[in-house]
Structure 1
Amino acid sequence: MKFGKEFTSQMVHEWQEAYMDYNYLKNLLKDLLDFKKKNAPLSEVAATPEGSLKRRISMYRAFSGLQSRYTSFKGSSGNNNNNNHEDEVILVNTVQQEGSQGHHQTMFLMSSEEGGEYEMIFFKRLDDEFNKVITFYKKKVEEVKDEADELSKQMDALIALRIMVDKPSIGMPSDQVMMDDDSTLSPGSVVPTHIRSPGGSHMEAIQEVEMTGEEILEEESTSGNREKEKRNLMRFRPAPIEILDNVKINIDPATPISTLKNVIRTSKANLKFSKDELKKAEEQMKTALVEFYKKLRLLKSYRLLNVLAFSKIMKKYDKTTSRKASKSYSDMLDKSDLGNSDEANKLIERVEVTFVKHFVNGNRRKGMKHLRPQAKRETHRVTFFMGLFSGCSIALVAAIVVAIRAQHLLEHKDRDKYMNNIFPLYSLFGYIVLHMLMYGANVYYWKRFRVNYPFIFGFKQGTELGYKQVFLLASGLSVLALAASLFHLDMDMDPKTGSYETVKELIPLVLLFVILLITFCPLNILYRSSRFFFLRTSWHCLCAPLYKVTLPDFILADQLTSQVQAIRSLQFYVCYYVWGNFKTRSNTCQDSEVYKILYIVVAIIPFWSRFIQCLRRLFEEKDSMQGLNSLKYFSTIVALVTRTLYDQKRGTFWKVMAASTSGITTIANTYWDLVIDWGLLQRNSKNPWLRDKLLVPHKIVYFVAIVLDIILRLVWMQLVLDIKDLSFLHEKAFLAVVACLEILRRGIWNFFRLENEHLNNVGKYRASKSVPLPFNYDEDKSM
């Protein structure tokens, strides 16, 4: 792989604009090379093999002897120095500007030569790129230093809280630690080496590891380990518990009940020195250190990759111009903050040992698994079973089609009974499989176009599912559903199975029970981490607004708004197996008023969840756009209610209400999709009617997506226009087709929604998530 492609592939996605523009500088060198070729002397151009004329002339030169030539070369050191001085090509200086940091400026000393203006332009652009990179790097270094200071203060409070809660028996002489009646440390305790003073430098709060931690980790297996521990214990001094006087707990609500309590009281509670508080604080600190460690590794990768890129481009310059400028530039690079900075490395080492020391009881292997989780290896087994299940699904679909055609089931007298009672039960699994297939396709294209979907969704590193795993689950579920429906159909056609009426009708219910059992299975099988992430996010959606709204929460709620028909199918399961006589496929629950009311209520649940989520974000973030978004979802709820009432009651009034509300919400939702969620239709952008930055190289894809979104949004009008009254298609089948079209539209929406979110992160250089810290320092008391 060429370095340019490797350089791009290893970039931090969200920092792309801050990297050295290697391809642009390489194109400048190509222009320089083209100029040199066009203006090369005629004799050089006419030579058949390149350089052959020069070699032919050298063959007629006098031979000076091997030894004499070597001796003369060794003895001409002074001339070499002169030549080196004469061969200087560039001079790199640091120019100080008033009110700003110094920037590097390269002076090209051969500008008078032919083509020198091309080389001057190259070095000017090279300086611009270098100054851009080093400015960004310095800014990020200052950010991590500030964050390290904050983490140091948090560690101060955490260690003091541990002492207050655990009340440890440290085993030190009484003149060093005195325990009073309340088992608290005396105010005379001295700050240990691992706790810094408030004015200390960054991360000094965890520098205990430099004195004792590394020795313990390195000498665990040696015979003198106990003596070392004794000496370290004698030097140990506990943390000052007075820190807790200026600290309040800052733990986010973990349950709806705690949220309600905090709304009634306050979001910042005083410390009660309970084990529950300590456990939550430790979990938050672990998460904060893991994210901080990830940020440090990204910064380290950024520095090394840019240093390598500058080195590569200078070597390419030397090769293009036959000069020797890379040595001078490399010397400047090594002396710069980009070349010799080790701030990130030091912090990485300190975080590693701190995490191992304070959170995994000195087990380095376990600690590094938390800090550097390994991505799961893709195995051929996944590909094999995905192909196997996909082939089986196609074969089962073909078998069902053949059975329907062979038995003339479309003209059967019990066709309506089957479509009204059995078809809705199995269509539920079709909606789920189609949505999973769309998500798998999204994952494939997100990965192809370098959309950082694991970071956006907040997946735990190494647990996100790839498109093959998603397709494997989808194809496996389709095999179960299709096999069950074919078995059910076969029992319907076979007169010998008449005595098994109850068993036959319970097949869909058993299948649903199996799927729910797999979904809620606590065993570490079938991607437990992803299943629990889905369940936790679904619970947050149902309990909105009692949980803080995160991106996975409202993205999943948006997915559920496209699964209204699937939710109604779940309601029909209750109707079919509880209220009616499922053995004879006769039920009257659909005609009851209670069912009709619930038919509306269950459909508006996902839209209500999004409406409440928008209101909470409006109050917390003070973002007026969230208020407009909530109005959009409220209008959708009104349209859904009026459309359903029109379908149940008919009449001119309800038709006018359904048409007007559906028309308004269709226009509002379409505009929001294209302009807000996708960021498109910007008239003055670099790409007319799209946006400035696009990940897909073919612009036609965006215009096709816009047209499809508009067309598929018009499906909202299908009930009002009575398009479903088609003779060749059953009403239930038409509703299933409409539901599938909405799922397809949602799949298209997902790709461009996350692309826009990714580009927003890129624009803000946001490559790591912000993690809430457990403690809040009361600055007024601490001053």
Structure 2
Amino acid sequence: VADEDTVKRYFAKFEERFFQTCEKELLKINTFYSEKLAEAQRRFATLQNELQSSLDAQRESTPPGLRKRKTVFHLSQEERCNTHNIKDLKLAFSEFYLSLILLQNYQNLNFTGFRKILKKHDKILDTSRGADWRVVHVEVAPFYTCKKITQLISETEALVTTELEGGDRQRAMKRLRVPPLGAAQPALAWTTFRVGLYCGFFIILAISFILTGVVLMRLENIWPMVRIYRGGFLLIQFIFLLGINTYGWRQAGVNHVLIFEINPRNNLSHQHLFEIAGFLGVLWCLSILSCLYSEYIHISMQINPLILYGFMILFLINPIKTCYYKSRFWLLKLLFRVFTAPFHRVEFADFWLADQLNSLVVVLMDLEYLICFYIFELQWSNSKGLLHESKDSGDHVCHSYSYGLRAIIQCLPAWFRFIQCLRRYRDTKRAFPHLVNAGKYSTTFFVVTFAALYATHREQGHTDADMFFYLLIVFSTISSLYTLIWDLRMDWGLFDSGAGENTFLREEIVYPHKVECSHTHAHVYTHTYKHLILPHQAYYYCAILEDVILRFAWTIQISLTTMTKLNSSGDIVATVLAPLEVFRRFVWNFFRLENEHLNNCGEFRAVRDISVAPLNADDQTLLEQMMDQEDGVRNRSGKKTWKRSHSLSLRRPLLSSSQLKKDTKVLIEDTDDDAF
């Protein structure tokens, strides 16, 4: 048993280490706050100058004494540019205001943290030295006493109100006001009600059409109908799983709003995505039941799929400002950028959506089949047109590679990513990772080509079909290994050599797990924390195993189609594997965005980088190359350890550090200031 002097010396030594740690953290907080405040002041001055220049140019281009024109069709080119600049300035000020609110939250969060930990110190050690230290050090610290951030917020509000919104403060604050940051806000009661209602209807209707199908169609050829409706189900499944993704990102603090560069003041929550998926799911089930009971309701079976998919298309392109108008047109704009990838700079959301299309390739192929089937194979005079195939054509036209279009459709998603990688190489002049990534997607072209040649030559009884089969196996293996390694190492950032206790993963992981455990602090006292949140590596190991299995699931399809004589074996396996591939992409999304979020934290990036006069691609590439040089502004080529303890994450600061690869900042292109 230690004597009283030994215990006192131990406590004194512990307190000395404790307050040294507090001083070190206080210094880092003060330094970071000062840097961000200086950056905000510089940014505010720049925005003021840009606003003044735009307003001066607007006044010079407007003849005195003339009534202001509201139409844009008769504006000159100069006037259009001025209007465009004002629109960009509104967006830039709204993002700048968001950064000020985040910095103000940083002040409050750190002061609260010091107050609570020092209060806990005094309670445990039965002393008041923690409170005294807070008064002497924290309450006079620059990060707490400085009121310049509040002044900047007030000046920004006044400037936007008077100069950009014509004195309308209510309109200005609607543009600037930031929703509470952190976890998702509670959804409206009616939204939650509709989610439950649609999901309940979907389950009941799905059971109904499954039972009906089993009873009524034992002897019918159901595969035309399955292929026509399969794509719709995959889209509904994708939207529902994306809702789970959104919920998981919010809960774990992964700032997907920043990563996708969407408006933090107006975007879809997971509840909205569940509602859309549930509503479309109910329509999908009703359409199938209408097909099955077409003889009783006197509606032609072949009309039902056209009504369903016609409604889906109209829902997406509906120009009326209702039913998530901003989100729908944000998606349409993104799809347009994917299809026109070579002609503009590629952003994260662009190649993320193209990756999703690679997992939804069956949807595109089923859409091609639907169009072909209705043109060439459907017998409109037959009341069971979707359950009967012409004996003359069978599967030899629409469900085969015989006329080449099907292979082209199958290659389209890979082509989008391939050309995006080439465009990114053109913009950055970096062979790695962009050309190497393009090589990954090019393997899909070989796989599809040899699959088409093998299927066609086997149907025609050619002797060289076996050669194409072996080439298909070789390139499918190469493609699967290539994509698997890229998934785990590049997209997810796993198998990092500095992973520490997270074996085979990376140093920092953000998806937590609640456990009960005991924790001994400083060998002085013991406390039991219930539901302590700890990183849970098992999620990551299961995801790795799942990715390996599903990346090689094609082996099952090839085995069954070549070793069995069942004509529909290929359709059966494809119908099972397509939803599994959508599920694989759902898991992939979690870890891909986690990796991107950690990169943003390492770069201290918490808001979109808005520039009214952005650099063009060549100038930005030249600037980045200069920064990579040994004698440049800073050498960004080598590996660095970025401290993330001051990250302005929307949920909480990340406490550990990791070696990050270089991550270039994104310049926002011309966007509507209220867009999703």
TM-score (normalizing by structure 2): 0.78
User: Which one of the candidate residues 101, 114, 135 is aligned to 1:297?
Assistant: 101
User: Which one of the candidate residues 728, 737, 740 is aligned to 2:579?
Assistant: 740
- Secondary structure of 1:773's partner? coil
- Secondary structure of 2:101's partner? helix
- TM-aligned CA deviation for residue 690 of structure 1: 0.7
Provide the residue aligned with 1:385 in structure 2: 194
User: Which one of the candidate residues 311, 328, 333 is aligned to 2:115?
Assistant: 311
The answer as to whether partners of 2:195 and 2:278 remain within 8 angstroms in 1 is yes
Per-residue CA deviation, residues 262-292 of structure 1 (Å, 9 max, x unaligned), is xxxxxxxxxx961221122112111111111
In structure 2, how many angstroms separate the alpha carbons of the residues matched to 1:275 and 1:447? Answer: 42
In structure 2, how many angstroms separate the alpha carbons of the residues matched to 1:518 and 1:170? Answer: 43
Provide the residue aligned with 1:280 in structure 2: 84
- TM-aligned CA deviation for residue 693 of structure 1: 0.6
- TM-aligned CA deviation for residue 752 of structure 1: 0.8
Correspondence 1:700 to 2:535: no
Correspondence 1:323 to 2:128: yes
Provide the residue aligned with 1:673 in structure 2: 487
In structure 2, how many angstroms separate the alpha carbons of the residues matched to 1:477 and 1:129? Answer: 52
In structure 2, how many angstroms separate the alpha carbons of the residues matched to 1:351 and 1:595? Answer: 64
The answer as to whether partners of 1:655 and 1:720 remain within 8 angstroms in 2 is no
The answer as to whether partners of 2:417 and 2:438 remain within 8 angstroms in 1 is yes
User: Which one of the candidate residues 4, 21, 30 is aligned to 1:125?
Assistant: 21
In the superposition, relative to structure 1, how do residues 645 and 741 fare at CA in structure 2: closer, same or farther (>3 Å)? farther
Alignment of 1:248-259 (within 5 A): none
Amino acid at match of 1:297: I
In structure 2, how many angstroms separate the alpha carbons of the residues matched to 1:325 and 1:484? Answer: 68
In the superposition, relative to structure 1, how do residues 325 and 151 fare at CA in structure 2: closer, same or farther (>3 Å)? same
The answer as to whether partners of 2:287 and 2:304 remain within 8 angstroms in 1 is yes
In structure 2, how many angstroms separate the alpha carbons of the residues matched to 1:726 and 1:447? Answer: 49
Per-residue CA deviation, residues 507-559 of structure 1 (Å, 9 max, x unaligned), is 10111111111111122322222211111111111111223211111101100
**Unaligned regions of 5+ residues in structure 1, if any?**
1-34, 42-110, 172-271, 779-783
Amino acid at match of 2:370: Y
Amino acid at match of 1:463: N
Amino acid at match of 2:450: T
In structure 2, how many angstroms separate the alpha carbons of the residues matched to 1:273 and 1:403? Answer: 63
- Secondary structure of 1:143's partner? helix
Provide the residue aligned with 1:690 in structure 2: 505
The answer as to whether partners of 2:345 and 2:427 remain within 8 angstroms in 1 is no
Provide the residue aligned with 1:450 in structure 2: 253
Correspondence 1:637 to 2:445: yes
Per-residue CA deviation, residues 455-481 of structure 1 (Å, 9 max, x unaligned), is 211221232222222112111111111
- TM-aligned CA deviation for residue 155 of structure 1: 2.1
- TM-aligned CA deviation for residue 374 of structure 1: 4.4
TM-score (normalizing by structure 1): 0.68
Amino acid at match of 1:465: L
In the superposition, relative to structure 1, how do residues 519 and 589 fare at CA in structure 2: closer, same or farther (>3 Å)? farther
Q: Report the identity percentage.
A: 27
Larger Rg: 1
Correspondence 1:613 to 2:420: yes
The answer as to whether partners of 1:424 and 1:569 remain within 8 angstroms in 2 is yes
Relative to structure 2, which stretch is displaced further, 393-402 or 289-298?
393-402
Relative to structure 2, which stretch is displaced further, 639-648 or 289-298?
639-648
In structure 2, how many angstroms separate the alpha carbons of the residues matched to 1:425 and 1:753? Answer: 32
Amino acid at match of 1:524: K
The answer as to whether partners of 1:575 and 1:589 remain within 8 angstroms in 2 is no
The answer as to whether partners of 1:647 and 1:719 remain within 8 angstroms in 2 is no
User: Which one of the candidate residues 223, 232, 242 is aligned to 1:439?
Assistant: 242
In structure 1, how many angstroms separate the alpha carbons of the residues matched to 2:78 and 2:52? Answer: 17
The answer as to whether partners of 1:643 and 1:720 remain within 8 angstroms in 2 is no
The answer as to whether partners of 2:402 and 2:456 remain within 8 angstroms in 1 is no
Correspondence 1:460 to 2:263: yes
In structure 2, how many angstroms separate the alpha carbons of the residues matched to 1:560 and 1:749? Answer: 13
The count of residues paired between Structure 1 and Structure 2 equals 562
Alignment of 1:340-419 (within 5 A): 340-372=145-177, 374=179, 378-407=187-216, 409-410=217-218, 412=219, 415-416=220-221, 418-419=222-223
Provide the residue aligned with 2:335 in structure 1: 538
- TM-aligned CA deviation for residue 112 of structure 1: 7.4
The answer as to whether partners of 1:708 and 1:745 remain within 8 angstroms in 2 is yes
In structure 2, how many angstroms separate the alpha carbons of the residues matched to 1:322 and 1:151? Answer: 50
Amino acid at match of 2:474: S
- TM-aligned CA deviation for residue 718 of structure 1: 4.6
In structure 1, how many angstroms separate the alpha carbons of the residues matched to 2:230 and 2:615? Answer: 51
In structure 2, how many angstroms separate the alpha carbons of the residues matched to 1:639 and 1:167? Answer: 64
In the superposition, relative to structure 1, how do residues 739 and 767 fare at CA in structure 2: closer, same or farther (>3 Å)? same
Provide the residue aligned with 2:291 in structure 1: 488
Correspondence 1:335 to 2:174: no
Per-residue CA deviation, residues 17-67 of structure 1 (Å, 9 max, x unaligned), is xxxxxxxxxxxxxxxxxx9xx9789xxxxxxxxxxxxxxxxxxxxxxxxxx
Correspondence 1:158 to 2:92: no
Provide the residue aligned with 2:309 in structure 1: 512
User: Which one of the candidate residues 229, 234, 255 is aligned to 1:426?
Assistant: 229
Amino acid at match of 1:647: A
User: Which one of the candidate residues 357, 362, 372 is aligned to 1:565?
Assistant: 362
In the superposition, relative to structure 1, how do residues 273 and 539 fare at CA in structure 2: closer, same or farther (>3 Å)? closer
Provide the residue aligned with 1:186 in structure 2: none
Provide the residue aligned with 1:137 in structure 2: 33
The answer as to whether partners of 2:561 and 2:570 remain within 8 angstroms in 1 is no
Q: What root-mean-square deviation, in Å, do the aligned CA atoms of Structure 1 and Structure 2 show?
A: 2.8
- TM-aligned CA deviation for residue 719 of structure 1: 5.0
- Secondary structure of 2:403's partner? helix
- TM-aligned CA deviation for residue 576 of structure 1: 2.1
